[in-house]
Amino acid sequence: NHVLQTFYPIAPTIDLQEIHVYEEVNDTGFKEGYPYIHPHTLYFTDLCNQASCVPFKPEHLRAKMIMFAFGNALAKAKKLYGEDTKVLEHPVVVQSIATDGKLFQFVVLQLNTMDLNSSDGVKNIIWMDSDQLLYECANYLPEMRKKVVVVPSGLSGYQPATFRKFLAMYLHGVM
């Protein structure tokens, strides 16, 4: 049983003062008067070109995508329907695409309710298509074995379905 000595008459917080340096606001980041006040699609690039950079694991990147899509959808819903609305008159949809240039993650979040306390009734929906390769490898030089080209230079293993998904999400709502 050891009793710690006090700093009396000095307070343990010395001269740290309790202040609030934040404001709780629903803000999507778009300035007032901008014609498009809510995001259509959120893009995340995980380009880790520095030696000290640690890339996101795909599951962490998808969690980040869901979090940002939900935050943007919630801010839009509160702006459209007010703070106290539970079930939304029309769902709010936000798309997310993340890539490192080779591997793509796709998330679409549909916010149907702002009532997050109830496990009954209307639910929010997430559609996710994860770990979609755009190509298998990209070589500046061909891969050779015994003077035979095994893998040519350029893209190999191109997956056009991944690009079609990217393009469909990019163009969704344009027309």
pLDDT tens by residue, 19-40: 777 777 777 777 888 887 778 8
pTM above 0.95, yes or no: no
pLDDT class for 133, splitting at 50, 70, 90? Answer: very high
CA distances 77 to 16, 114, 115, Å, are 38, 8, 12
Q: What is the pLDDT of residue 52?
A: 65
Cα 70 to its chain centre, rounded Å, is 9
Parallel, antiparallel or unpaired: strands 87-99 and 103-113: antiparallel
Residues with Cβ < 8 Å from 91, sequence gap 6 or more?
110, 111, 112
Are 133 and 101 spatial neighbours (Cβ–Cβ below 8 Å)? no
Dist. CA 111–CA 38, nearest whole Å: 14
Structure-model confidence comparison of residues 12 and 6, the more confident one: 6
pLDDT class for 83, splitting at 50, 70, 90? Answer: confident
In 3-state terms, what secondary structure has residue 79? helix
DSSP string spanning 41-74? EEEEE----STT--PPPHHHHHHHHHHHHHHHHH
Q: Which helix (H) or strand (E) holds 171?
A: helix 160-171
Parallel, antiparallel or unpaired: strands 143-145 and 103-113: unpaired
Q: Which helix (H) or strand (E) holds 22?
A: none
Are 113 and 123 spatial neighbours (Cβ–Cβ below 8 Å)? yes
Residue 25: closest CA among 56, 71, 66: 71
Dist. CA 110–CA 77, nearest whole Å: 11
Q: Tell me the per-residue pLDDT of 89-116, one tens digit each, with 9 for 90 and over.
A: 999 999 999 998 889 999 999 999 999 8
Give the other-Cβ count within 10 Å of 59's Cβ: 11
